Amino acid sequence: MNAQLKYSDIINLPHHVSSKHPHLSREQKAAQFAPFSALTGLDEDVKETARLTDRRIEIDDGLKEILSNKLNIIDMNIKNKPFVQITYFIKDSKKQGGKYVEVEGIVKKINIFDNYLLLNDNTKISIIDIIDIKSDLFKGMNY
């Protein structure tokens, strides 16, 4: 059947204007057909998966001994408010691994029993996460 014949009864009728719904602008009409994300959050998940993390370095007994000696020296000089630079591992909260960060500050407290070091700005660092400590206290020593 010919399309012209099929719609011949309505082809010349006036365009309908709703009395209940307001007229949409071109932008509003176009927005109805805009693409949408059927997989909400996929972009963020892909970025999170692609984000790189570092593996935690397993330190050997020699480095453990050096770090222990450095902590003892800092502890003996705690009243002098020793300034240190500490490199330590922070575990990633979302995926396996983490990152190494370096912080600077004055050591406020070392708690060997609970395994943490506290800086003046209240940064609490787990002793087992530390891989390096630098300080003027160690000048002239073979560290």
pLDDT in tens, 42-88: 777 777 677 777 888 899 999 999 999 999 999 999 999 999 999 99
Task: Tell me which residue of 45, 48, 34 sits closest to 96, measured CA to CA.
Answer: 48
User: 128 and 67, same structural domain?
Assistant: yes
User: 40 and 109, same structural domain?
Assistant: no
pLDDT single digits (tens) 76-123: 999 999 999 999 999 988 888 889 999 999 999 999 899 999 999 999
Complete DSSP assignment for 58-76: PP-HHHHHHHHHHHHHHHH
CA dist 86 → 2, 15, 51, 78 (Å)? 84, 76, 25, 16
User: 128 and 103, same structural domain?
Assistant: yes
- Tell me the β-bridge partners of 104: 85
Answer yes or no: pTM beyond 0.75. Answer: no
- Tell me the β-bridge partners of 39: none
User: 77 and 13, same structural domain?
Assistant: no
User: What's the rounded Cα separation, in Å, for the pair 18 and 22?
Assistant: 7
Residue 83's domain comprises 61-138
Q: How many domains does the chain have?
A: 2
